[in-house]
Amino acid sequence: MERRLRPVVLGAALTAWAGFSGGFAQAQSADPFEQINKRFQERKSAGEESLQSIQDQFQAKRAAMEGQWRKRELEIEQRWQDRKRAIEQKWAQAQRSTRKEWVDYSPGNDSRSIVNFEEGTVEIATLVPAAKPGRPSPEQLAAAQAEIARQLEQILSEKGDAKRAILAGQMTTSKGRPVEPKTAKAFVQQEVLPNLVVDEKPTESRDGVSRVQVTAKVNMTPDHLKKRARQYLDTVQAESRRRQLDPRLVLAVIQTESYFNPKAQSQAPAYGLMQLVPRTGARDAYNYIYNDDKVLDDEYLFQPAQNVELGAAYLYLLMNKSFSDVPPGDKKNYLVICAYNWGPGNIRKKIMGPYRVQDMQGEELFAVLTEKTPEETRNYLKRVTERMGLYEELLGR
């Protein structure tokens, strides 16, 4: 019997083991930790897909914005090329505004004014048909005088913002009285006419008409820069308080970028008082303030209040985002000033990468920056830091 019982017992044991092992396998598959891990992996996958979707949307929006800006940039350039062709029908060469100079033409392109905000001069030229001997007749000189007066009145009437004319109080008569639009004609007759310069050689224009250029040059008041700075002082102080910036820094940046020329533009392209580039600094600042990625054009940035708002916000971003690891003080100011000109990426890579900025004194960092940055940037740093002291009196310090 024992021999017959053993197989039965063994079979029962095997059956029991099979049941036990099956139950163990079921227990393993029902392991709560595996279930948690499975759910985690599913959520992680869903999260990664969601994150990828957000990144894709962001990249698509950025690409669309780049496309919009390229289109706007081409429109601005095409507008200038059309204007240039019209101007060069009469003038030998069309001149364009720069950071330091505001160039303006009369509606018919017969007259041109160039206001140099650095040197403090106003040059107005007009073209009159050349007389046969090559010199304008008295009647033509009278017409030239009238054109110069009209052009002077035009630029004296041009406003930088809704309140003030760009050249308000910056041109005076010999008796110290302000030249205003309504007095422009008398000013030209009494003080400009005796100093008119008539070119001896006529200009051969593309429209086939031979013309002679008649030019008048007027000096602005010695304190023209300070007078323009005062025009924008309230805006600068308000935005400086808003962004916790030293207003002397903002004013010095404006002077160095544009000499307080609200019409300033450069090939970057950059526009306005603080020379903001629409696709970089202006874009970052606008996005920070309004939480909106937007294409900004030249007309928006030519508005002083809007330009200073964005320029101050961009300085704030440089201070508190790009160089947040540098404590407040001269060192941070030096880095921010250079970054405003050269770009924060270049400063971090080419200055803060190879040099231990954190261990330097302010004067040591200044020396490095004036040796290891491009010539334009080192000159920019020197000008801005030197000019900050010019605004102590204006700010009542």
pLDDT tens digits along 32-57 = 667 777 777 777 677 777 767 767 77
Average pLDDT over residues 294-305: 93
pLDDT at 24 over 80: no
275 and 331 inside one domain: yes
pLDDT above 90: residue 15: no
Between CA 372 and CA 351 the distance in angstroms is: 7
**Other Cβ atoms within 10 Å of 287 Cβ, number:** 14
Summarize the confidence of residues 164-179 as an average pLDDT: 96
- Which of 195, 222, 249 corresponds to the end of one domain? 222
Q: What pLDDT sits at residue 45? A: 74
- Would you mind telling me the total number of residues written for the chain in this entry? 397
Residues 188 and 286 placed together within one structural domain of the fold: no
Q: Does residue 196 register a pLDDT over 70?
A: yes
What does the angle CA 255 – CA 256 – CA 260 come to, to the nearest 5 degrees? 30
- Examine the domain organization and report whether 294 and 199 are in the same domain: no
pLDDT of 268 = 86
Give the pTM: 0.84
H or E segment and range at residue 326? none
Are both 256 and 138 inside the same structural domain?
no
CA 245 to CA 252: how far, in whole Å?
Answer: 12
Q: Which long-range contacts (CB under 8 A, 24 or more apart) does 295-303 make?
A: 295/65, 295/68, 295/69, 295/72, 297/72, 297/76, 298/76, 298/265, 298/269, 298/271, 301/271, 301/272, 301/276, 302/262, 302/263, 302/271, 302/272, 303/161, 303/262, 303/272
Map 134-172 to HEC letters: CCCCHHHHHHHHHHHHHHHHHHHHCECCCCCECCCCCCE
Is pLDDT at 1 greater than 50 in this prediction?
A: no
Q: Are 385 and 337 in contact (CB under 8 A)?
A: yes
**Per the domain annotation, does 292 fall within a domain?**
yes
pLDDT, position 16: 45
**247 and 217 inside one domain:** no
Task: Give DSSP secondary structure letters for 229-244.
Answer: HHHTHHHHHHHHHHHT
Greater confidence, 145 or 63? 145
Q: Are residues 387 and 274 in the same domain?
A: yes
- Within 8 A by CB and 6+ apart from 352, the residues are 335
Provide the domain count of the chain: 2
Q: What is the enclosing helix (H) or strand (E) of 228? A: helix 224-231
Which neighbouring-strand residues pair with 215? 125, 197
Cβ-based neighbours of 233, under 8 Å, separated by 6 or more = 251, 394, 395
For residue 6, the model assigns a pLDDT of 43
Q: 377 and 239 in one domain?
A: yes
Look at the block and give the residue holding tokens 């905000």: 117
DSSP class of residue 188 equals I
Instruction: Give the mean pLDDT of the chain.
Output: 89
Q: Residue 111: pLDDT band by 50, 70, 90 thresholds?
A: very high
CATH assignment of the domain containing 312: 1.10.530.10
159 domain-assigned? yes
Domain boundary among 170, 194, 222: 222
Q: What is the mean pLDDT of residues 11-30?
A: 46
Can you say how many angstroms the Cα of residue 338 is from the centroid of all Cα atoms in its chain?
15
Domain span at residue 345?
A: 232-391
Reduced to 3 states (helix: H, G, I; strand: E, B; else coil), residue 46 is: helix
pLDDT value of position 118: 98
Measure the CA–CA gap between 85 and 183, rounded to whole angstroms: 33
Q: Collapsing DSSP states into helix, strand and coil, what is residue 224?
A: helix
Question: Under a CB-based contact definition with an 8 Å cutoff, are residues 134 and 173 in contact?
Answer: no
124 and 239 share a domain? no
123, 199: one domain: yes
Report the percentage of the chain scoring pLDDT > 70.
89
Phi-psi region of 291 (alpha: psi -120 to 50; beta: other; left: phi over 0): left
Structural domain contains residue 114: yes
Same domain for 258 and 116? no
Give the Cα separation of 247 and 241 in Å (integer).
8
